[in-house]
Homo-oligomer: A and B are copies of this chain.
Amino acid sequence: MPAHPRNNTPMSIRVAILGPTGYTGLALIEWLLRHPDARITYLASHREELPNIGEVFPRLQSAIPDDVAVCKPIDPEAIAHQADVAFLALPHRTAMQHVPPLLDAGLNVIDLSADYRLADPDLYEATYDHPHCDREHLPDAAYGLPEFFRSDIKHAKLIANPGCYPTAAALALAPLLRRGIIATQGIAISAASGVTGAGRAPAPHLHFPEQNEAFGPYGRIGMHRHQPEIEQTLTTACGEQVGLLFVPHLLPTTRGIFQTIYADPVDQDVTEENIFEAYEDHYDDEPFVRVRNDLPNTRDVNNTNFCDLTARVVRTNGAAKVVLFSTIDNLVKGAAGQAIQNMNIRFDRDETAGLI
């Protein structure tokens, strides 16, 4: 097959991906291959036998240049020599072992793990049940949710890419909390995710015949690791401690996150117009948040970097309840797409480059 010369302009952003063999790694590769102004130069694996990504994912064969396809070791100096930015699609706990040497080698780092998302290392340790071994760089990490922290992202060498559930939840809730439209307590989030959200390792309950035609909640209810991350973003947004209940479910789909969120209005006279105004106020210039009048569906955002949102106010026996609907593709706006959006911001490119 002929080499594909695309994206090899001298000025294009040179990208390394650490841990490319999971679903997030695959999504990063596929979206970066289409990016007009970035190119993958280094795939790094911590496996002893270095994998050829075209064998791991046959769909990438001859799409990715041969010299890049074979993974190389995680060698920060070598990576820094060949790349401007390192995306880390490594497991939680592993990522923070690699971040310090990568930063020291001069690289920009976009970490897709949870290791730098929680500002408070004690909360991290309680949540992930593991010591945080890089408290030094934690304060410098920008939380990579552009719609709320764009200027931080622009200036940060280290970007903590948000979790998939926290992205969908924060985009729906933060503008309303900031404006004081909904109460900070008593928020309930019914979330549903496609199976790629559970990773690529086979497991009995993720075996095709078990998950096909199946739907139900999972994990310890009220203890999901994304809950503190959601609360942190919302608390930052409104300046008050936010309390919420997060209940995740598993969908019989490959992709897609959907959240139906129940909240109490601060003012019983709240209208849908109030909410749409808050959304439009916050999202009017945002390229990837679509405030819709009709009801969102994962089908409309799958394989896109969009978050679709809407709201309803329902009155029962006189009491008003606010219901929000938010959906993203867990692998795109919930992972790889948002990471590329952050790269675009950091490297001063058009924020939508490679994403529409």
A255 touches B207 (CB 8 A): no
Assembly CA distance A353 to B6 (angstroms): 8
Binds B, one of A58-66, A83-91, A143-151: A58-66
Which residues from chain B contact A215 at a C-beta distance below 8 Å? Answer: 192, 251, 253, 256, 258, 297-298
Kindly provide the distance from the CB of A347 to the nearest chain B CB, expressed in whole angstroms. Answer: 16
Given contacts A6-B353, A190-B190, A206-B208, contact A327 B216 (CB under 8 A): yes
Q: Is A11 an interface residue (CB 8 A)?
A: no
Taking CB atoms and an 8 Å cut-off, the chain A residues in 255-314 that contact chain B are: 255-256, 258, 260, 262, 284-287, 290, 292, 294-304, 306, 308, 312, 314
Which residues from chain B contact A294 at a C-beta distance below 8 Å? Answer: 58
Q: Is A106 an interface residue (CB 8 A)?
A: no
Assembly CA distance A112 to B256 (angstroms): 31
- Kindly supply a per-residue 1/0 record for chain A positions 212-249, scoring 1 wherever the CB is within 8 Å of any chain B CB and 0 otherwise: 11111110011000000000000000000101110101
Assembly CA distance A213 to B201 (angstroms): 18
Given contacts A287-B2, A352-B6, contact A321 B245 (CB under 8 A): yes
B319 touches A214 (CB 8 A): no
Assembly CA distance A309 to B201 (angstroms): 28
Taking CB atoms and an 8 Å cut-off, the chain A residues in 2-56 that contact chain B are: 2, 4-6, 23, 33-34, 36
Assembly CA distance A303 to B23 (angstroms): 15
Q: Report the interface size for chain A: residues with CB under 8 A from the other chain.
A: 91
Q: Is A131 an interface residue (CB 8 A)?
A: no
B208 touches A316 (CB 8 A): no
B245 touches A317 (CB 8 A): no
Q: Is A325 an interface residue (CB 8 A)?
A: yes
Which residues from chain B contact A6 at a C-beta distance below 8 Å? Answer: 36, 350, 352-353, 356
Q: For chain A, what secondary structure do more than half of its interface residues adopt (helix, strand, loop), or is it mixed?
A: loop
A195 contacts which of B33, B192, B208 (Cβ < 8 Å)?
B208
A243 touches B58 (CB 8 A): no
Kindly provide the distance from the CB of A65 to the nearest chain B CB, expressed in whole angstroms. Answer: 10
Which residues from chain B contact A258 at a C-beta distance below 8 Å? Answer: 215-216, 249
Which residues from chain B contact A356 at a C-beta distance below 8 Å? Answer: 4, 6, 33-34, 63
- Cross-chain pairs A/B with CB under 8 angstroms, 20 sampled: A2-B285, A2-B287, A4-B287, A58-B292, A61-B292, A185-B316, A185-B317, A190-B260, A192-B215, A200-B209, A201-B207, A208-B254, A209-B254, A210-B299, A216-B325, A222-B312, A222-B316, A244-B316, A245-B314, A249-B260
